[in-house]
Chain A
Amino acid sequence: MSSPATPVPAAEALPAVRKDRIPLLLVPVLALAALPLTGSLSTWVTLTFAGLAMGMIIFIIASGLTLVFGLMDVLNFGHGVFITLGAFLATTVLGSMAAWTTSESLLRNLGAVLPAVLAAMAVAGIVGLAYERIIIRPVYGQPLKQILITMGGMIVGEELIKVVWGPEAQPLPLPAAFRGSLIFGEAAVEKYRIAAVVVGLLVFAALYWVLTRTKVGLLIRAGVHDREMVESMGYRIKRLFIGVFIAGSALAGLGGVLWGLYQQGVTPQIGSQVNVLLFIVIIIGGLGSVGGCFLGALLVGLMANYTGFLAPKVALFSNILLMVLVLVWRPRGLYPVVNR
């Protein structure tokens, strides 16, 4: 700490935090750089929307993971379980409301999707509470054991999901009103992707509002920055952490529903498959930063779709490539928060 010992005027003691806006440019720069490469504007619009939709869904899933890490140094390798859980719950709920999902009316479709989303979030949240108790709490502050235990949680969770829903892949068809595309000029954009982008933006706005405009959000941000200081002020950071963990699990459940619908099917393995992508996103964003996670998710989503179109073989490594590039530029991610 290099704080001066002599008292300084209040205005100098707390200089205004300089806003770092350069990473914000990355998303438009990447999108514009891809424009001449894709050749036609309509293809570019389609790809961009696909990338944004994918990025939004990944953001919804990863936001909880990055906050949980920032707050308590807990990296949950079993985060994927909640995705799988959400997606399978959606198959059950939507499957039992076939009359509503096949109806052409948007209102009825939403009437089916909404309970599915709520069920997924509620169950994922409750399971998250139990998971925190059983799996994570006994190994606070022991990184090695934590990695092993959460990995064990992943194995057991995946197997339990197989016990309940069976090991086979299950279809998760889109409700009728979300199928097909909207045509803008010559560009076709799938309706569901627009819906995913909207949901993602809503979640981001809600998170942003909670984190910057409420007291709980203030405490969470302060806790991410310096846990001990917040504790010494008399706030119970553990309780806060449990809340964040449950919210993160519920968001992963929501993300699971969206991801399942995006893929139009669910397998018990989707959680562990998405895991690697999540880690890449939160590393790119800077661990603990929700804003960075948002940017990272969008970058990953766009990159995957552009390279998937331009050079399919490269696409499989595009995420790793992106991570390496970002880390070369900023070794601790776009927005480094955690100073530990």
Chain B
Amino acid sequence: MILRSLFSGDLPRSRVLTVLLLLILAGLLLTPFLFSGAKSLNVAAKICIFIVLVSSFDLLLGYTGIVSFAHTMFFGIGAYGVAIALTHLGPTWGAVAAGVALALVLSMVLSLVIGLFSLRVKAMFYAMITLAVATAFLTLASQLSDLTGGEDGLSFKVPTLLQPSFSLREAPFLGAYLDGKFISYYLLVAVTLVLFLVMLRIVNSPFGRVLQAIRENEFRAEALGYRTVVYRTVSNVLSALFATLAGCLLALWLRYNGPDTSLSFEIMIDILLMVVIGGMGTMYGSVVGATLFLIAQNYLQDLMKLGSTAASGVPFLRNLLAPDRWMLWLGILFILSVYKFPTGIVGRLRARVRSAP
């Protein structure tokens, strides 16, 4: 019962998916104990950040049916908010709070303005306009070098508790050092969990149902008496705010932010791939998609290196399997996903349950 209300009545509804999600959760919770080394911890932290980011995008794309290419802009606002505040105000918690608050306000205003001005138009135009706005913002961020550090970005110190040099106790606990990284990581996991559950709550509320109605048939939703522009704008703002929070988490974790880490168009494409492959309009799809994508990004290349060496005699095939070309295969998977299973992996798993007697 508690579990049901915690998940807002929207349980995974598939045994395989449940196991998968539990595995991901366990993996994220135990990473510092299971794996040593900075890489696995970094991958796990990125998975957490992207779960929030991709879920917030799913709120917009999967639940409301709006394609926006400006999502990284809000991600970047969050990251820059924290980065700028900590650079100028020093490494205190007050600075973190100020940065997060300012970033949230800026994101809210921007998303509200963009939404009110351009959500009345058709999906295509919205996609184009957001693409243009996001490009302009990226340029702006790399030009205002006094504030944002330009192309080099900003490196800054985080509050003492989160600094890698900080240590709770000298001796390792179950093989893990209880240092600032350790604390930051669990803070990250906790915030991710909370934010994800809040988003799950939102999409399963009456408000979320209206969003889905708009996605399915905007005209009908309007005819039922819902002001679709208002709902779409609110959805846009909410999704922007959660993306901003994800950006704050990114900056706190990396202790660095620059245009390429949070604003680049590549990240936008990554988010698209994650949400579509994982499953649009399912929320859990974001978890699966983000995890799959980031593991592929970090470990698939090793596998492809093997394939590439095996095929080194065949010139074209060797290039196809080259480790740098891993995006090719994910891109093909993406196109197939949109065609064959628009609800992605999660939808696939759930469909298996439904077709069974």
Contact B328 A148 (CB under 8 A): no
A161 to B135, CA, bound (A): 24
Establish whether residues B328 and A159, one from each chain, have CB atoms under 8 Å apart when the complex forms: yes
Q: For A69, what are the chain B residues with a Cβ–Cβ distance below 8 Å?
A: 124
B327 close to A167 (CB less than 8 A): no
Report the stretch among A15-23, A36-44, A315-323 that lies at the interface.
A315-323
Known: A138-B339, A148-B272, A272-B265. A159 touches B132 (CB 8 A): no
Residues of B within 8 A of A164 (CB): 319
Q: Is the CB of A75 within 8 A of B128?
A: yes
Q: Would you call A163 and B124 a contact (CB within 8 A)?
A: no
- Cβ 8 A contact of B132, one of A77, A153, A160, A276: A276
Are A135 and B335 touching (Cβ within 8 A)?
yes
- Alpha-carbon distance A125/B129, docked complex (angstroms): 28
User: With A147-B67, A160-B328, A317-B136 in contact, is A155–B123 under 8 Å at CB?
Assistant: no
Q: For the side of the interface on A, what is the size category?
A: 35 or more
Residues of B within 8 A of A156 (CB): 328, 331-332, 335
* Total CB contacts across the A-B interface at under 8 A: 89
CB atoms of A145 and B338 under 8 A apart: yes
Interface residues on B, range: 35 or more
Q: Can you offer 25 A-B residue contacts whose CB atoms are under 8 A?
A: A75-B128, A77-B127, A138-B339, A145-B338, A148-B67, A148-B276, A148-B334, A149-B335, A149-B339, A151-B272, A155-B269, A155-B273, A156-B328, A156-B335, A159-B331, A272-B265, A275-B131, A279-B128, A280-B132, A283-B128, A316-B136, A316-B143, A317-B140, A320-B136, A323-B132
Question: B209 at interface (Cβ–Cβ under 8 A)?
Answer: no
| CB-contact partner of A153 in B272, B316, B335, under 8 A | B335
Residues of B within 8 A of A317 (CB): 136, 139-140
Which residues of A sit under 8 angstroms from B338, Cβ to Cβ?
A: 139, 145, 148-149, 152
Shortest Cβ distance from A149 into B: residue: B338
What CA separation (Å) do A15 and B129 show in the bound complex?
36
B227 interfacial contact with A, CB 8 Å = no
A238: CB under 8 A from chain B? no
- With both chains docked as a complex, state the minimum distance between the C-beta of B68 and any C-beta of chain A, in angstroms: 10
Q: Does any Cβ of B come within 8 Å of A144's Cβ?
A: yes
Kindly state whether residue B12 has any CB partner on chain A within 8 Å.
no
Residues of B within 8 A of A138 (CB): 339
B88 at the interface (CB under 8 A from A): no
- Residue on B nearest A146 in the bound complex, by CB: B124
Within 8 A of B (CB), among A289-340: 313, 316-317, 319-320, 323
A236: Cβ under 8 A from any B Cβ? no
Minimum C-beta distance from B324 to chain A (A): 6
CB B142 to nearest CB in A, in angstroms, measures 9
Determine how close the nearest CB of chain B comes to the CB of A306; give it in whole angstroms. Answer: 18
CB pair A320 B334 closer than 8 Å = no
A163: nearest chain-B partner, CB-CB: B319
Asked whether A143 is an interface residue with its Cβ less than 8 Å from the other chain, the reply is yes
Q: How far, in Å, is A283 (CB) from chain B's closest CB?
A: 6
Report A108-143 residues with CB < 8 Å from chain B CB.
Answer: 135, 138-139, 143
Cα distance A170–B320 when bound, in Å? 20
Q: Are B139 and A316 in contact, with the CB atoms below 8 A? A: yes
In the assembled complex, the Cα of A316 lies from the Cα of B142 at a distance in Å of 11
Quick check: is B176 within 8 A (CB to CB) of the other chain?
no
Question: Which residues of B from 305 to 320 have beta carbons under 8 Å from A?
Answer: 316, 319-320
CB neighbours of A279 from chain B (8 A): 128, 131-132
With both chains docked as a complex, state the minimum distance between the C-beta of A42 and any C-beta of chain B, in angstroms: 29
Tell me if B354 is interfacial: C-beta within 8 Å of chain A: no
A145–B131 Cα distance when bound, in Å, is 17
* Residues B123 and A143 in contact, CB atoms below 8 Å apart: yes
Chain A residue at minimal CB-CB distance from B318 = A163
For residue B133, CB closer than 8 A to chain A, the reply is yes
CA distance A320 to B140 in the complex (A): 12
From the candidates B319, B324, B331, B342, name the one contacting A155 in the complex (CB within 8 A).
Answer: B331
